[in-house]
Amino acid sequence: MTSIPGRKGTVHAATSDDDEADEFETELRPLVGEAVRLATGMLLSAVEAEDAVQEACLRAWRRRTNRRPGSPLRPWFLAIVANECRELRQSPWRSVLRLSDLSAMTTVLPADPGPGLDLRRALRRLPYRMRLVLVLRYYMDQPYDTIASVSGCSVNAAKALVYRATSRLEKALRDPEATQ
Amino acid sequence: MSNEDSENMLRRRFHDALDPALPAAGVEGRVLQRLRPRLVRSTPAPNARWQQLRTTLGGALAALVVILVIGGSLGVALALRSHTHPTTVPKPSPPTTPATPPIKPSSPPWTPPATAQVSSTITATTPLLVTWDPTSEVGSAPSRYIARDYQGRVVGTFTLDQNSQAAGVSIAPDGSKLLIGGRLLYDIYGHRLADIYADDLPEPIWADDSSHLCGFIATANDSSTGVLVEVSASGEVRTVARLGQRGWGIIACSPDADRAVVSDSTGPTVQEINWVVLRLSTGQVIATYPGWSASGAVSTHDGRLLAVDEANGISIRDMATGRQLAWVVRWGSQAGYPLIGAAVVFSWDGKRLLIDGGGAGGATHPRWLVAWATNTNVMTNVTAGSTELESVVPLTSGPTFLVEEPVSPYRAYLLEGDGVLHLLP
């Protein structure tokens, strides 16, 4: 039997990649739901949120060596999701729709859409960072240290930002034209 | 209320607003399932980098070749189209204001009814979104219009006998009034306001205050008298200006902005349109822009901006100065030929323009919601095989549109200025 020197190494590399991918996936799995909620809050679209989380997962995998050993995955991954949402919001092609998919992609308004619609509209008008901290605080119930990690600032700055963003949101809810 | 109460209330509002927008159940599984094959593939081994670079370069070269080939084909197709389809640029159905400038006045297709049988359950204040419900027409049942407030809530219905419906119904921009058969003016609450029909006022358009109509007087023998009139909701007719016998069409009529924009299609060639801006209150001509080549045009409600469909793109013009503010090009297709996109409607605030790029027999029917100032697509919507354009009407504030699907199941949407669609209940 002739051994083929290179092939054995390749098989080992693939197995190693598979193991690492397994490990990564196991670690990531419990965070995907939270990531989807964050992305939905940021993008206000189910389809875009799913896309954003998909890309964020891949980005996290590619950047996994940048993560400080022993540091928690959660805030690091949520920060990647938030960045992905920001980039998607800035893309002029973010809303590519096909008519056949409209039903699946549109938000069906409840019978009384008033408060929900108002809030979504108000959120849409807020700057990226303000929307991010509000979604983390009020939709995902995150503590300030996580908000600080995800938004890349100190805990005190995160508190101040949440306060300012809340005031701005309340103003936007009271007067929908004010922030236009 | 304590801070904690206030925070909890906000949390509830966030959940109420965002939970319905979450992706369908099983999203975690879908994401991870799609992710797995990409994980290992996306791990480049050190000795594979050159291979990857070579593939990337090869891909770029291949893309360049494809672009050149497609570009060449496009040029050939355009040249062919300019010879074989010189006048087949389709103009989408007009929304609340007419989309095609050289409106040829003509007599109504039949004698409008002398009266209409209407009833209304609407009591809400305007503005309202009023949409026709085609499913209501069963047998001889009256046609039904559904009224919603700007939040999308159904606030009542307006019904109309089928004979009157067949004569044509034009709804005021804010949903407050209906012009039936070009003659009978009703408010949305079912009250008859006026009988404004005259044989000599074909195809009037609603002014942007929803209280007036504007149009050109025609006589039995002459459809181009050039007499521009404004008609109030009580039926009072006021002559705005006498512009002389030309091929006039009205594009915009705005009492609030004291402006009217009209087109004159008697230029030296079929596609050269003259444009005139007038002060609506006095009839004084403010500006005349001769000979902009156009196959169609739409105006903002106040006549401030005009999107002119030219041969190779859409020019956005400031009607105060005539200056071109932007040049927007979108390509669709018609029967396999590239087809330049045509302007359909501006949002009320003038910041968004809906463009249609499909024609009869087109394999695809793309539409774009464009932020024209930055030439960016806020939304792209591509349908296969459809040639019908939804009814798209701007709400009378901001950048939002009401969109109706023309075929069953006749859904209606709110299309926000940032491209988000909300299905209306």
Query: Nearest residue on chain B to A39, judged by CA atoms?
Result: B22
CB contact under 8 A, A40 and B383: no
Show the DSSP H helices in chain A as ranges. Answer: 5-43, 46-62, 73-90, 102-105, 114-124, 128-134, 144-151, 155-174
Q: What is the pLDDT of residue B281?
A: 94
Q: What is the pLDDT of residue B76?
A: 33
| Predicted structure pTM score | 0.53
Residue length, chain A?
A: 180
- In this structure, the strands spanning B364-371 and B313-318 are unpaired
Confidence of residue B412 (pLDDT cuts 50, 70, 90): confident
Q: Is B149 helix (H, G, I), strand (E, B) or coil?
A: coil
Query: Nearest residue on chain B to A114, judged by CA atoms?
Result: B151
Q: What is the pLDDT of residue B165?
A: 74
Confidence of residue B108 (pLDDT cuts 50, 70, 90): very low
Dihedral, CA of residue B30, residue B36, residue B37 and residue B43, to nearest 10: 140
Contacts of B312 (CB under 8 A, 6+ apart): B329, B340
Q: How far apart are CA B424 and CA B151, in angstroms?
A: 9
Could you tell me if residue B377 is left (phi over 0), alpha (psi between -120 and 50 degrees) or otherwise beta?
beta
Q: For chain B, positions 238-297, list CB contacts with chain A under 8 A.
A: none
Answer yes or no: is pLDDT of B121 > 50. Answer: yes
Which phi and psi (to 5°) does residue B337 adopt? -95, 145
CB contact under 8 A, B418 and A124: yes
Mean pLDDT value across residues B92-103: 32
Q: What is the pLDDT of residue B300?
A: 95
Confidence of residue B38 (pLDDT cuts 50, 70, 90): low
Q: How far apart are CA A62 and CA B43, in angstroms?
A: 7
Instruction: Give contacts of B17 with chain A, Cβ < 8 Å.
Output: 115-120, 123
Q: How far apart are CA B5 and CA B159, in angstroms?
A: 46
Confidence of residue A22 (pLDDT cuts 50, 70, 90): confident
Give A95-115 as a DSSP string. Answer: -EEEGGGHHHHSEEPPSS-HH
Type and span of the H or E element at B354: strand B352-356
Show the DSSP H helices in B96-212 as ranges. Answer: 162-166
Q: Is B140 helix (H, G, I), strand (E, B) or coil?
A: coil
- The closest of A76, A81, A90 to A52, measured between CA atoms, is A81
CB-closest option in A53, A95, A116 to B17: A116
CB contact A113 to B (< 8 Å):
yes
Q: Is B217 helix (H, G, I), strand (E, B) or coil?
A: strand
Cβ atoms of B306 and B275 closer than 8 Å: yes
Cβ atoms of B421 and A103 closer than 8 Å: no
Confidence of residue B81 (pLDDT cuts 50, 70, 90): very low
Q: For chain A, positions 47-106, list CB contacts with chain B under 8 A.
A: 47, 49-50, 53-54, 57-58, 61-62, 92-100, 102-106
Highest mean pLDDT among A139-153, B78-92, B134-148, B190-204: A139-153
Give the distance from CA B117 to its chain's centroid.
30
Q: Who has greater pLDDT, A28 or A68?
A: A28
CB contact under 8 A, B21 and A123: no
Instruction: Give me the half-sphere count of Cα atoms (radius 13 Å) on the Cβ side of residue B104.
Output: 1
CB contact under 8 A, A114 and B45: no
Which of A11, A45, A59 should one mutate to test binding to chain B, selecting the residue with the greatest count of B CBs within 10 A?
A45
Type and span of the H or E element at B68: helix B49-84
- A58-62, B183-187, B343-347: segment of lowest average pLDDT: A58-62
CB-closest option in A13, A40, A100 to B22: A40
Confidence of residue B137 (pLDDT cuts 50, 70, 90): low
CA distances from B404 to A175, B134, B269, B386, B411 (A): 29, 11, 36, 14, 6
Confidence of residue B284 (pLDDT cuts 50, 70, 90): very high
Q: Tell me the nearest-neighbour CA distance from A93 into chain B, angstroms.
A: 6
Cα dihedral sign, B29-B33-B36-B42: negative
Q: What is the pLDDT of residue A168?
A: 87
Dihedral, CA of residue A52, residue A58, residue A62 and residue A64, to nearest 10: 90
Q: How far apart are CA A36 and CA A46, in angstroms?
A: 8
CB contact A180 to B (< 8 Å):
yes
Query: Nearest residue on chain A to B375, judged by CA atoms?
Result: A92
Q: How far apart are CA B230 and CA B215, in angstroms?
A: 7
Give the distance from CA A106 to its chain's centroid.
19
What is the 3-state secondary structure of B240-273? EEECCCCCEEEEEEECCCCEEEEEECCCCCCCEE
Type and span of the H or E element at A126: none
Q: Report how far apart the first and last C-alpha atoms of chain A are (Å, whole number).
A: 75
Query: In which residue are the tokens 């939804």 written?
Result: B390
Q: Is A52 helix (H, G, I), strand (E, B) or coil?
A: helix
Q: What is the pLDDT of residue A23?
A: 84
Structure tokens that stand for B413 in this block: 């949407």
Contacts of B67 (CB under 8 A, 6+ apart): none
